[in-house]
Structure 1
Amino acid sequence: MAITIYTKPGCFGCRKTAEKFTEARVAFTEVDITQKLAALEYVTEELGYSQAPIVVVDDDFHWSGLNPTNIAVAIKLAKEEVAS
């Protein structure tokens, strides 16, 4: 399972989202959308988001903003995958 968090510097929600995955010991990739134009284009044009963080779990489960409920679901899915 691949989890990518698209972030921007100074973003409280970005930092808290990453902290939740780190605390749960769930691996993720962090991409700074202010440094990678292709990433910014992907989250705005393809996914339609305008608020960071944007979390993408295996391309079919994604959201934007600090969302504790979706974070918990993603962590559960990641841990279930590791256990199987």
Structure 2
Amino acid sequence: MSVTLYSTPSCGPCRGLEGSFKRAGIAFTKVNLALPTNAELVASLKARGLTQTPIVIAGDIEFSGMQPDKIEKVISLYRTTAE
């Protein structure tokens, strides 16, 4: 399962979630939404209702903001698909 973490450099929760993913052994792609080259991506995410960082897209799961239940679901599903 592919996991993408969309964040900004000043986002403390983003850094915390990145650490959680690393400790859980989750391979993920990190995308910096603060880069001017990602303006269209930011608009696209906002149009989907994903308005607060961190934003996570993992398979069928999409969410924004710190949502511990969904974070645990991503970690559990990742571990299941990695086996």
Asked if TM exceeds 0.5, the reply is yes
Structure 1 residue aligned with 2:51 = 50
Q: Shift of the alpha carbon at 1:68?
A: 1.8
Cα deviation per residue 1:21-66 (whole Å; 9 max; x = unaligned)?
Answer: 1000111111011111232122112x212211110012x2111111
Structure 2 residue aligned with 1:29 = 29
The sequence identity of aligned pairs, in percent, is 31
Work out the CA distance in 2 between the residues paired with 1:38 and 1:78.
28
3-state SS of the aligned residue for 1:70? helix
Work out the CA distance in 1 between the residues paired with 2:40 and 2:30.
14
Unmatched 5+ residue regions in structure 1?
none
Unmatched 5+ residue regions in structure 2?
none
1:31 and 1:39 in contact (8 A); partners too: no
TM-score, normalised with respect to structure 2: 0.89
3-state SS of the aligned residue for 1:56? strand
Work out the CA distance in 2 between the residues paired with 1:10 and 1:73.
25
Q: What is the count of residue pairs matched by the alignment?
A: 81
Runs in 1 of length 4+ with deviation above 3 angstroms? none
Work out the CA distance in 2 between the residues paired with 1:65 and 1:9.
15
Q: Shift of the alpha carbon at 1:12?
A: 1.1
